[in-house]
Amino acid sequence: MNAEDREPSSTEMPASNRKRPTWNQLRSKLETVGFKPSRRLGQNFLVDDGLCRVVAVAGGVEPGAIVLEVGVGLGFLTAHLLELGARVIGVEVDQRLVPIARQWLEPAPDLELVLTDVLAGKHELAPAVVERLPAKEPWSLVSNLPYAVASPVVALLARLPNPPQSMTVLVQHEVAERLCAREGGHGWGPLGARLAMFYEGRILRSVGADGFRPRPKVDSSICRLERRADGPALEPVELRAYDALATQVFTQRRKRLRSPLSGLCGGLAAADHWIAEAGIDPTLRVEELAPAALLTLVRSPAGAEFRERFAESPPGPR
């Protein structure tokens, strides 16, 4: 008997009356509603109950904590978050899955299921999600993130006016490396630069394909990003300019910084002046550029023209 086909053992089950159906039982329900996993939606269910527990516990969830879960699926991770006492805002895009999850998760007064795509566009979170997140209370993200949306979801959540205090996610290993990367390291790029300014990231453990159904063709990792206590206070215009600068300079990550900057400020001479005024080593390559150096470029007098391009932009991602 395969691990995913057996009943969870007493040590795996939450200490409540909620009983997780077997994978065969759930698969039968999926077939009844005509469900077939979508690669576009990244529908790979984490059926290993032990790993679901690992993700939930890694999220540092305490009783009463507000947790956003993106990609509820069949509710496997959700059940563990509820058992830990979380107040869960669960987002699921597939209307065929929500009733199946509800059927075995309920009664669950601390669960709000939101049927929507988490993204309203490439650079915008769904209003139905944003309006349910706390305006002032601390909250966190704990999710087996669909591969297709992992990077934009994390990046956009990090830029909310009240961002998550932590983000614990199971994602494709390559994405985990980018989320947790630091300057000069493997995977360092615009995504890492946007996150490292305010978050400290680390990969907790790798996860093979056998724990999923259907099995993905890539390995995954659990990673955790925690909000930095020493993150800088940025004006909205500075933050928008910082993100734009990171995105643009990393298009030439192996070149010296003066090369991509020259296209933003009117030539190499202007780029050299901008770098010198910011006190940055002129031989520095983009892949070695730390978040603090990027911010120095944004705030330097020579960067004023670039910074002013974002003065009238809408305030923050929604």
Distance CA 163, CA 157 (A): 6
Residue 76 CA: distances (Å) to CA of 51, 131, 203 = 10, 25, 22
| Burial category of 248 from C-beta neighbours within 10 Å (exposed 0-12, middle 13-18, buried 19 and up) | middle
Residues 6+ apart with CB under 8 A from 220: 170, 171, 172, 173, 176, 206, 207, 208, 209, 212
Q: Is 117 annotated as a binding residue?
A: yes
Cα–Cα–Cα angle for 200, 195, 271, rounded to 5 degrees: 120
Alpha helices (H) in the chain, listed in sequence order: 23-32, 49-58, 76-83, 97-105, 127-130, 150-157, 173-180, 190-196, 236-249, 258-265, 268-277, 291-299, 304-308
Distance CA 50, CA 161 (A): 34
Q: Is 92 annotated as a binding residue?
A: yes
Cβ atoms of 77 and 56 closer than 8 Å: yes
Reading the block at residue 14, the tokens are: 């939450």
Residue 252 CA: distances (Å) to CA of 172, 174, 290 = 24, 20, 15
Place of tokens 């059927």: 103
SS3 144: strand
Q: Is 44 annotated as a binding residue?
A: yes
- Cα distance between the two ends of the chain: 46
The binding site comprises 44, 46, 71, 92, 117, 144
The binding site for S-adenosyl-L-methionine comprises 44, 46, 71, 92, 117, 144
